[in-house]
Chain A
Amino acid sequence: MTSRPAILFLLPALLLYAAFVVVPILQVVAYSFFSWDNGIAQEFVGLANYTHLGSDSVFWAALSHNAIWVVLTLAFPLLAGLLLAAILADRSPRTIQVMSAIYFIPRTIPLVVAGIIWGWIYNPLFGLLNYGLDMMGLGSLAGAWLAEESTALVSLNVVGAWTFFGFCVVIYLGAIQSIDPSLYEAAEVDGAPWWRKFRDITVPLLNNSTLFLGLYAAIEAMRFFDLIWVTTQGGPGYATEVLTTHVYKTFFLVGDFGYAAVLSVVLLVIVLSLSAIAFRLLRAK
């Protein structure tokens, strides 16, 4: 096929992409250079909206919460997924099929629904978690999980991990099953225990999957909004504020479209940078 027909075939998709992605992004960037009053553009202010970033303590708190979220997501769901996949890989095909489906179920639940479910579990008045702790004689450990600054972000990250670890299991499992079995057979002949095989064969050969999952998790961690909004709306105080909730409040609740656009541009730059890194690293492999 010559290049002209190829361009003609691509053109509809390119036009749609330009209309629904490129133009809105340029629009948001343009918004960030204006002052606004109740959602109505007032005057061109250049970079004045951007200078507010430095003194906006909520922005820095939100950014740090996003960073914590990334670290926690990399630490727990990936690790749990890796271990479970490695354990599961040694089981019968039927067990693998059933267990991976079970692990994957939370991934299919929309985050809004997951937030509502876990909101009930964490509820300080009638929550299942506190009830369970009471039943086990651990009532002293019961708490207001989403209502205290010290526990709110971590408690929400548990929900995020719950919805993500099954995805990690499935990705890792697929990767483990593609490893040449002769490597494990040779290790067994040498008398290597399970954990040595896991450490010296499985983990190194899963680097690509780990890289993919890590970058995917990092990008998702910058973009998520729904879980926070239905459970805490960024509270208590600013304890679970993330960039997306800060953007939402600034845009929809305060009506400062200029500064909301600045925050959106910052978020966009971060996500695009992570995507570029992911693209580069994965292509290099």
Chain B
Amino acid sequence: MKRTAWSAPLVLCIATQATAQDTVVVTQWDQFAQSGITAAGPAMDELIATCKPALNGAEVLRTIAPSIGIRDSYRLAVSAGKTPDLAYTWPAASVLSGYARVGALAPLDDYYAQYGWDQVNAFYKGRNSYEGKTYGLPMEQDLMGVYYNKDLFKENGLAVPTTYAEFQALVEKLKADEIIPVAFGNRDRWPATNTFSLILGLTAGRELEEKVFFGDEPWTNPAFVQAAQTFQDWAKADIFPRGFNGVGYDEANALFLSGRAAMTITGTWVLQDMIRGAKFDLGVFMLPPIAEGVAPGTMWGEGSQWQLSAAATPAVRDAAAAYLDCLVSPESRQVWVQKGYTVPIGTTPAELAAWGADPVVQEFFTGGLATPDANFYDLHTTLPESMTQVLYPELQRLAGGEVTADEFLTTMQAAWVTAGANNERWIP
């Protein structure tokens, strides 16, 4: 009797441990915070509960990492062989290819076949592929556009430009009225890559971009030179605030939200902060094509993508894939839109209207999704990291007038050649 009483807790303990060992745990890193970039925390919180049945008894152990820092944290995790089972990180293209190349990621082709995931079109699937296999499930639809202060436009008798000439006239009018045309801050180094990507796409077009990224066309081609020159001209012409290379991204957004600047050119990833912060009537328009003959379009990106660790057990991968299928389902997409101001890939403007998305969200995506065949690349999330670390400072120098457009592109071409020699480029 005495022996039984003593051993009972031990048996219970062993039984509990056995149950714990049987439970499949999916470790998840994501960046869904409550504010700032990718502020879709409330949606993620709700969907973890909603998607629990899809896990079929498995559990999610979640870690939230800052959006900007998660790519560095993930790289360290790869080098240490400690990648989480499931991660919502960025960028795709070259960086994701690098992880696939060293065997850190599990291919998702079987899960694409099993669950469909047809909302991921060829453009996005390509950005998440390496040597014919798909390694990422992109979710967030990122677009670039021009946020503008409708009240300020109305007060000054200004209209949304439909051509680049009209945009230039608008900028001149704003300058004459002593209003900062475009709030822009590049102290954080990355914002200029987005702005330049937009200018590049609207000057060179997607077809030429692909000839450079996947073909033999050099960076120093005339259309790229024109784009670099345009960016520098904007900076020289005081379209941006004084000392923009010393102004932070958040400070530039605050400048716009304070009503001191008429526009700011950035992406959908700050929609929530813009809508919350604007004390005026907020609007969005798409920047018109800059060069003649280039189709209207905007910069496309996936924001971030879900990816599975190659080190995860098959049971964990299966559970994670079922969970992902729930996260990107039409029902969940509605939650992302309504609670997270995040628009998943595959969501249509009609769905946004039906789900009661904020009018600014609808305006942004209606404009951005209207040109699917012409939308182009975001350099920031497309190029290898070795090139990104050249692009950041060189764009600061270009905008600051320290180098010419030709010199900037010559440097980029040299970095591109080196990245090719080191097998760092992304080829879908």
| Distance of A145 Cα from B241 Cα, bound (Å) | 14
Would you list which residues of chain B between 68 and 103 have a CB under 8 Å from chain A? 72, 75-76, 78-80, 98-99, 101-102
Does A252 count as interface, using CB distance less than 8 angstroms?
Answer: yes
Cross-chain contact A38 with B187 (CB below 8 angstroms): no
| Distance of A147 Cα from B240 Cα, bound (Å) | 13
* B260 CB to nearest chain A CB (Å): 9
Cross-chain contact A147 with B187 (CB below 8 angstroms): yes
Encode contact with A along B328-359: 1 for CB under 8 Å, 0 otherwise: 00000000000000000000000000000000
Cross-chain contact A235 with B79 (CB below 8 angstroms): no
Would you list which residues of chain B between 157 and 199 have a CB under 8 Å from chain A? 187-189
* A70 CB to nearest chain B CB (Å): 23
Cross-chain contact B251 with A125 (CB below 8 angstroms): yes
Cross-chain contact B394 with A252 (CB below 8 angstroms): no
Does B393 count as interface, using CB distance less than 8 angstroms?
Answer: yes
Cross-chain contact A249 with B389 (CB below 8 angstroms): yes
Does B397 count as interface, using CB distance less than 8 angstroms?
Answer: yes
Does B400 count as interface, using CB distance less than 8 angstroms?
Answer: yes
Choose, from B28-36, B42-50, B242-250, B365-373, the stretch at the interface. B242-250
Total contacting residues, chain A, CB less than 8 A:
31
Encode contact with B along A207-247: 1 for CB under 8 Å, 0 otherwise: 00000000000000000000000001111111001000000
Cross-chain contact B385 with A147 (CB below 8 angstroms): no
Chain B residues positioned under 8 Å from A235 (CB to CB):
187, 189, 245, 392-393, 396
Cross-chain contact B385 with A255 (CB below 8 angstroms): yes
For A126, give the chain B residue with the smallest CB separation. Answer: B251
Does B402 count as interface, using CB distance less than 8 angstroms?
Answer: yes
Does B104 count as interface, using CB distance less than 8 angstroms?
Answer: yes
* B372 CB to nearest chain A CB (Å): 32
| Distance of A235 Cα from B102 Cα, bound (Å) | 32
Chain A residues positioned under 8 Å from B245 (CB to CB):
144, 147-148, 235-236
Would you list which residues of chain B between 49 and 64 have a CB under 8 Å from chain A? none
Contact A149:B400 (CB < 8 A) given known A38-B79, A38-B102, A39-B76 = yes
Encode contact with A along B218-250: 1 for CB under 8 Å, 0 otherwise: 000000000000000000000001111111000
Contact A40:B246 (CB < 8 A) given known A149-B402, A253-B72 = no
Does A185 count as interface, using CB distance less than 8 angstroms?
Answer: no
Does A122 count as interface, using CB distance less than 8 angstroms?
Answer: yes
Chain B residues positioned under 8 Å from A255 (CB to CB):
75, 79, 98, 385
Does B119 count as interface, using CB distance less than 8 angstroms?
Answer: no
* A18 CB to nearest chain B CB (Å): 22
- Among the listed A237, A254, A257, which residue makes an inter-chain contact with B396, where contact means beta carbons less than 8 Å apart? A237
| Distance of A252 Cα from B69 Cα, bound (Å) | 10
Chain A residues positioned under 8 Å from B246 (CB to CB):
122-124, 144-148, 232, 236
Cross-chain contact A38 with B400 (CB below 8 angstroms): no
Contact A39:B255 (CB < 8 A) given known A147-B400, A235-B396 = no
Contact A144:B242 (CB < 8 A) given known A37-B102, A123-B247, A149-B402 = yes
| Distance of A250 Cα from B242 Cα, bound (Å) | 31
Chain A residues positioned under 8 Å from B394 (CB to CB):
237
Cross-chain contact A37 with B72 (CB below 8 angstroms): no
Does B410 count as interface, using CB distance less than 8 angstroms?
Answer: no
Chain A residues positioned under 8 Å from B102 (CB to CB):
37-38, 40
Chain A residues positioned under 8 Å from B80 (CB to CB):
39
| Distance of A148 Cα from B397 Cα, bound (Å) | 9
Does B386 count as interface, using CB distance less than 8 angstroms?
Answer: yes
Chain A residues positioned under 8 Å from B396 (CB to CB):
235-237
For A232, give the chain B residue with the smallest CB separation. Answer: B187
| Distance of A125 Cα from B248 Cα, bound (Å) | 10
Encode contact with B along A120-143: 1 for CB under 8 Å, 0 otherwise: 001111000000000000000001
Cross-chain contact A40 with B79 (CB below 8 angstroms): yes
Encode contact with B along A23-67: 1 for CB under 8 Å, 0 otherwise: 000000000000001111000000000000000000000000000
Cross-chain contact A143 with B101 (CB below 8 angstroms): no
Would you list which residues of chain B between 362 and 401 have a CB under 8 Å from chain A? 385-386, 388-389, 392-394, 396-397, 400
Cross-chain contact B385 with A236 (CB below 8 angstroms): no
Contact A37:B247 (CB < 8 A) given known A236-B400, A237-B400, A254-B386 = no
Chain B residues positioned under 8 Å from A253 (CB to CB):
72, 385, 388-389
* B90 CB to nearest chain A CB (Å): 14
The 7 closest A-B pairs by CB, nearest first: A39-B79, A144-B243, A124-B243, A147-B246, A147-B245, A237-B397, A147-B243
Which residue numbers of A lie inside 8 Å of B, CB to CB?
Answer: 37-40, 122-125, 143-149, 232-238, 241, 249-250, 252-257
- Residue pairs across A and B with Cβ atoms less than 8 A apart, 19 shown, are A37-B98, A37-B102, A38-B78, A39-B75, A39-B79, A39-B80, A40-B78, A123-B251, A147-B187, A148-B245, A233-B187, A234-B393, A235-B189, A237-B394, A241-B393, A249-B389, A252-B76, A255-B98, A256-B386
